[in-house]
Amino acid sequence: MTLDPRTDLTFTRRINAPRALLWACWTTPEHIRQFFVPKPHRVESCEIDLRVGGRFDTVMNVDGTLIDSKGVFLEVIEGARLVFTDTYSEGWKPAADPFMTAILEFADDVQGGTTYTATARHRSPEACQRHEEMGFFEGWGIVATQLEDHARSLM
């Protein structure tokens, strides 16, 4: 994948948990609720239909404001790659104002953990800049730490 620095934000981190467990966390609604947004914000609900075209819908509670996010999976490679977007909702219904496409990649590392890469692709440089200013690196970094903590609590 060739990244465009004008429209893509990405980071890679080593997570001290097995890849299969991280995959389970990212593909199970009960687990998503534990790490998907930086605390003290929370996920009120999550629905997953894990297949290309299947729904990935969440309702997030950010400071008492409910944010309904509907999306679909574009690519599902078991244990290795998960791609979802809010550009469409289930049934390929186009979104009025899409924000991004997320690409999550998981690879075994030599120490028994996982190399975790999260990428957010945006429609325009302006949307990318807005996401960076919203705190992409800090927020997604917190989510990665929460993911690791949650996965390790399951070991």
- What CATH number should be reported for the domain holding residue 102? 3.30.530.20
Q: Which domain holds residue 140?
A: 11-153
Q: What are the pLDDT digits (tens) for 98-136?
A: 999 999 999 999 999 999 999 999 999 999 999 999 999
What does pLDDT average to over the chain? 96
Q: Is residue 106 part of a domain?
A: yes
Asked if residue 1 has pLDDT above 90, the reply is no
Q: Which residue has the tokens 């104002």?
A: 97
Measured distance CA(96)–CA(137) in Å, rounded = 26
Q: What is each CA distance from 82 to 101, 126, 147, 148, in whole angstroms?
A: 11, 25, 15, 17
Residue 52 within any structural domain of the chain: yes
Q: How far apart are CA 95 and CA 110, in angstroms?
A: 41
Which class for 76: exposed (0-12), middle (13-18), buried (19 or more C-beta within 10 A)? middle
- CA–centroid distance for 28 within its chain: 12
Q: How many Å apart are CA 36 and CA 47, to the nearest integer? A: 13
4 located within any domain = no
Mean pLDDT, range 19-42, rounded to an integer: 97
Does 1 map to a domain?
A: no
DSSP code, position 55: B
Number of domains in the chain: 1
What is the average per-residue pLDDT within 65-88?
97
